[in-house]
Structures are given as C-alpha cells and as structure tokens.
Homo-oligomer: A and B are copies of this chain.
Amino acid sequence: MTAASYAAVDWGTTSFRLWLVGENGDVIGERRSGEGMTTAVKHGFSTILETHLAALAAPAHLPVIVCGMAGARQAWMEAGYLDTPAPLSGIVGAAVTVADANRDIRILPGLAQRSEQHPDVMRGEETQLLGAAGSLGNGNHLVCMPGTHSKWVRLTGGVVEGFSTYMTGELFDVISKHSILAQAMVDAGAFGGENKSFLDAVAHAARNPAMATNQLFTVRSGQLLHALSALDAKARLSGTLIGLEIAGALSSARAGSSVCLVASGPLAALYQSALSTLDLKPTIIDADDAVRRGLAAAARSLWPA
C-alpha cells in the first residue's frame, strides 16, 4: 500500500467525513460520522479528528486539510471569508493554520457576498466548486448545490461572481415536522424524482412562485378534500420548495449560463428530475467527488510533493 500523504476533511454542521490520501493521490482510507460542528463544539474538534486519524493508523505528523463549518466563528478556528467576486484560485491562500496542534492542520475559508441587499455566505461549497471547476472549464456557469441551505452560484471563468442561498432543505424539515402539514405526511416513506405530485408541484411553483405559501396549504386542503396520500403530501411539499428555489435561481441568472448540478445520492436524483421537468439539462458532478478533488487541489498547493 502507498504511504499516506495527507488527510482531507469535510466538516459540515451535522456530518464529518475524512479521507486518507496516498502519495499517488488514491484514497487509502475513509471515515464518516455524524460528528459535525454541532457535536464538535461540545466534544472538541481536535479530539474527534485525532480519534478518526488513529482509527486509520495515520502517521503522527500527517498534515490535514479541512473545509466547512470547522472554520466558522465559534467553531474550531475562524477561517474568515473570501469576498466575492472571488477567484477559486484564491481560496487556498486564505487558509488558516490551527494553532496549538501537533500536526499541520489548515482550514479553508468560506465565501462572503457583502452586498447590503443580498448578503450571503457559504462554507464548504467553495471547496466543492474548486473541485468541480476542473470539469466545467471557462464560460458562464450556474452551479446548483442543493442541500439544507441550497446554493446557486454564478461562476465565470473560475471566478465566483455571486451566489444565492435558498433555505429549501431546512424549510422542508421544519415544515414537515412542526407545522399543520406534519399530520398530512405521517409515516410517509421516501419518494423518487418520478413522483407525479413532486413534478407537478415543481412545475406549478416555478410558474407561480408568488403562490408558494398557498401551494403549501394545498398539502393540507388536498388531504381534507381529495384524500391526498401521505407520500404525495410529502412529495408536494418538497416539489413546492424546490420549484420555488429554481424559479428564484433562474430569475437572477445571467442569460446563456449553462446549468451544472453538484449533488450526490437521492438529492441529486430529485434535483435532476426537477430541473428536467423544467426543460433544463444540467451537467452533473458528484458532490462527494467534488469536495475531495477540491481538498486535493488545496493539499497539492500547500504541500507540493
């Protein structure tokens, strides 16, 4: 087996992922857990990181490159923000070094859009963008990165011109758990991108974004008057929020941009289906691959072989 060259960590709010990368660039070990920032502020970032490194028998002085919420204020060590317009090539130069560590640990910064009208921030997605940019080439790209807080990024020739966050995933979560719509989707299983209620809701919300919070209520009234099933209720809630997000993203996009979807797993399938029903044919890049490639690009730049 090739010797370890560095470890790469994507530290999200509720998830932790670590890859041990060999001298030849191959992944030679991987760890995943739910010890995101929320857990780490209680139990210690260093403790959690060292436990996972030890489990992979990583050498004591192996350097570590980190992106994501570990760099937030009041997290491990503040890594600040790079302001838009931000060349992706500037990210690694703004990395911070964790003080008091027994190894070389760098945390990549986030991006900030300091506009008075449209303030916005990201942490972690900039590293995915860095990894995805190689596959995209120059030109105008509109990059969709769905999730708890979906990001839509306007990327031109390797420069992030601006971006917008939509609270889609979190709104789905709080509405499905805490609102009157919860009772319409009790025990609903998972639905796929081919679900008709999902696709109809996407199309309707994209065409009539102003009616979004009315469309949400039809989850309840549809249950009362048309016996809407729990699965269709859940699909309609999801489709409404995703359709509204896409309407917003397209309304602020530069004409002629090519759409790219950076996502993994079921969310990738759902967004691909939603975009397709609106006649958009995105280039698809796996989000896990993208973040790993972005971290690798940063590591190569920090620690050339």
Q: Which residues of A come within 8 Å of B, CB atoms?
A: 112-114, 116-121, 149, 164-168, 170-171, 174-175, 177-180, 204, 208-214, 216-218, 221-222, 224-226, 241, 244-245, 247-248, 250-252
Contact = CB atoms under 8 A, between A and B. Distances in A.
A210 B121 contact: no
B121 A225 contact: yes
Contacts of A245: 213
A18 B245 CA distance: 44
- Shortest 4 CB-CB distances between A and B: which pairs? A209-B210, A210-B247, A119-B221, A210-B248
Q: Copy number of this protein in the oligomer?
A: 2
B218 A119 contact: yes
A275 B262 CA distance: 40
B214 A248 contact: yes
Contact of A209 (B175, B180, B212): B212
Contacts of A204: 117
By secondary structure, the A interface counts as helix
Nearest to A13: B180
A225 B251 CA distance: 24
Contacts of A119: 218, 221-222, 224-226
Nearest to A72: B224
Contact of A174 (B179, B209, B250): B179
Given A164-B214, A177-B178, A208-B251, 19 more contacts: A116-B226, A119-B222, A119-B224, A121-B221, A121-B225, A149-B180, A166-B213, A167-B179, A167-B216, A171-B216, A174-B175, A178-B178, A209-B210, A209-B212, A210-B248, A211-B248, A213-B244, A213-B245, A214-B248
8 contacts: A117-B204, A164-B214, A168-B213, A170-B179, A171-B213, A174-B178, A209-B209, A212-B212
Contacts of A225: 112, 114, 119, 121
